[in-house]
Chain A
Amino acid sequence: QQQVKQSPQSLIVQKGGISIINCAYENTAFDYFPWYQQFPGKGPALLIAIRPDVSEKKEGRFTISFNKSAKQFSLHIMDSQPGDSATYFCAARLDQGGKLIFGQGTELSVKP
């Protein structure tokens, strides 16, 4: 019930292409859905986030699409660059205490 399922586990995209990472959840008590970017040996860095009353949020090349009825959300990276190569984690927040439940992560590699 508190799981967040993320796919794919790894993704290879050509420079300039679109990277798409998907997440699904079951618990309707989740009230906030952030995406984090993590480079090797570093902490997760907040990339973009959305609340369930919004269907889409765009910040630069990064877009979150949110489908409340399907309990799914996805991250789209437009014009992917080699510098975007990192591990991306989706997460969901439970209101009580504010803890984040993370997905398994997607290792993105953008080829030049």
Chain B
Amino acid sequence: EPEVTQTPSHQVTQMGQEVILRCVPISNHLYFYWYRQILGQKVEFLVSFYNNEISEKSEIFDDQFSVERPDGSNFTLKIRSTKLEDSAMYFCASSGYRVSYEQYFGPGTRLTVT
């Protein structure tokens, strides 16, 4: 069964460093999303991406964040200068067609900022 994959599973970085989180969405899916989950809290929307551009972003997704689909398979989230409060699980999700609605999530990347 097709699934969303994410790498790395765990990333430790120092405050102020740049990190890139990688995702491979389900092939032939067209809509891509990043969410984050701070430990013990709910899942929060960060950004949606379609047709090589951002569709919508939350107030969390400030200028320190960027997304990119560098090729036909990968979808990346970059945090330019990490802060302690960026420590969270980051989930990538994808869906096929808007009408299908279902979003499938990857296993997540645990980001720890020290």
Contact = CB atoms under 8 A, between A and B. Distances in A.
Interface stretch (B14-22, B62-70, B101-109): B101-109
Interface of B: 4, 31, 33, 35, 41-45, 48, 55-56, 58, 91, 95, 98, 101-108
Interface of A: 32, 34, 36, 42-46, 49, 51, 89, 91, 93, 95-105
A44 B45 contact: no
A46 B31 CA distance: 16
A98 B55 contact: yes
Contact of B103 (A51, A89, A95, A100): A100
Contact of A99 (B42, B45, B108): B45
A46 B3 CA distance: 12
Contacts of B48: 97-99
A13 to B, nearest CB: 21
